[in-house]
Amino acid sequence: MNCRSKAAHSEFPTAHPMDGITIRPLDFRLSSKTSDDCIWNHRRPEYAVFLNALGVHVPYFERYLVFALRKARSATHDARLKNDQGGIIGQEAHHAHNYRQFSEVLFERYASLRPIDQRAMQYFEKRALRDSDRRLIGFTAGYETFTFLAGLLLLDEFDDWFGDSDPEIAAFWIWHQVEEVEHGSVAFDTYKYFYGKDELYRKWMIVVAMFHLARETVAAYRVMMVAEGWVKKPRLAFARSRFCAWMLLRFARNALPAFRKSYHPRHHPLVTNRQNLVQQGWRRFSASGGDVLSIDRDKVEELIGSALRVSGRE
Ligand SMILES: [Fe+2]
Ligand SMILES: [Fe+2]
């Protein structure tokens, strides 16, 4: 993949990526993947392992989110917010469905992952039943700070993460990340709608969510490191552990603007300074009925080319 796809952005005014939420009921048929496909980034296996580890507990959070926002939606009287809540609920339900298919494939390669998966499921199921309304929405908004930021970071570094990857798994991640950005302000807006003045709790929930996300990711990453044999080589073990820590620190650092009182996800520096061309091109391609279930190098170039043409740079 040439350098055009790495951090390709348009500086020209375009529609804001959070302007519309489209429910796309896609099925990536990830259950047909094999144990060998788990290391889907052939050039940088640690990138694949990091996202695989991050993704183990995510479907259970997504179900928690669906539960929390369904409940909030029934008490929301703002038509626009209600519409957006319907959008995020639809998108996240489809994400969870696809993630679960891939988790089953991961268990074939990493049998020790099952207890971690089960623990995550039980944690979110219990919390959904026990949490107060404020905690349901606050924790959801805290978590969504990171899912939307992860979307932006990954799409900005598309070539490193997906440039030499399995086309179906790359397509699944691109779809997920584009939609995470698209609905990136809905949980925040819902929290503000109900608990707008309680800024301290909103910020506390970002911290709680970050630690939870890090704990789940590190637990799964450690299992995968052992199974891949990386821990047998001290220098490799150090480098791969450092990569995981570095990525989590990047998530945390990019969340810092969310601690400002005036913060809104629409105005996060990663969203406003530049518009990612893969993201723009993917949306356009998908809306025109293009096949987004498999994305290889040529298709990415096509997506970027179409976004550039619209922004007037080609
Ligand atoms: Fe999601
Ligand atoms: Fe999300």
One domain, residues 126 and 227? yes
Nearest ligand to the C-alpha atom of residue 185? 2
Q: What distance in angstroms lies between residue 144's CA and the mean position of ligand 1's atoms?
A: 9
Could you give the CA distance from residue 68 to residue 142 in angstroms, rounded to a whole number?
A: 13
Q: What distance in angstroms lies between residue 60's CA and the mean position of ligand 1's atoms?
A: 10
Q: What distance in angstroms lies between residue 72's CA and the mean position of ligand 2's atoms?
A: 16
Q: C-alpha distances in angstroms, 191 versus 29, 255, 261?
A: 34, 17, 14
Residue 98's domain comprises: 41-264
Q: What distance in angstroms lies between residue 299's CA and the mean position of ligand 1's atoms?
A: 23
One domain, residues 73 and 127? yes
Give, for all 314 residues of the chain, the pLDDT tens digit: 343 444 444 444 457 788 889 999 999 999 999 999 999 998 999 999 999 999 999 999 999 999 999 999 999 999 999 999 999 999 999 999 999 999 999 999 999 999 999 999 999 999 999 999 999 999 999 999 999 888 888 888 888 998 889 999 999 999 999 999 999 999 999 999 999 989 999 999 999 999 999 999 999 999 999 999 999 999 999 999 999 999 999 999 999 999 999 999 998 888 765 678 888 889 888 998 989 999 888 888 888 887 777 766 55
Residue 164 CB: number of other CB atoms within 10 A?
A: 16
Nearest ligand to the C-alpha atom of residue 96? 1
> Is residue 292 in some structural domain?
yes
> Is residue 253 in some structural domain?
yes
One domain, residues 161 and 287? no
- Number of domains making up the chain: 2
> Is residue 31 in some structural domain?
no
One domain, residues 160 and 295? no
> Is residue 97 in some structural domain?
yes
> Is residue 36 in some structural domain?
no
3-state secondary structure of 188: helix
One domain, residues 183 and 231? yes
Q: How confident is the model at residue 314, as a pLDDT?
A: 52
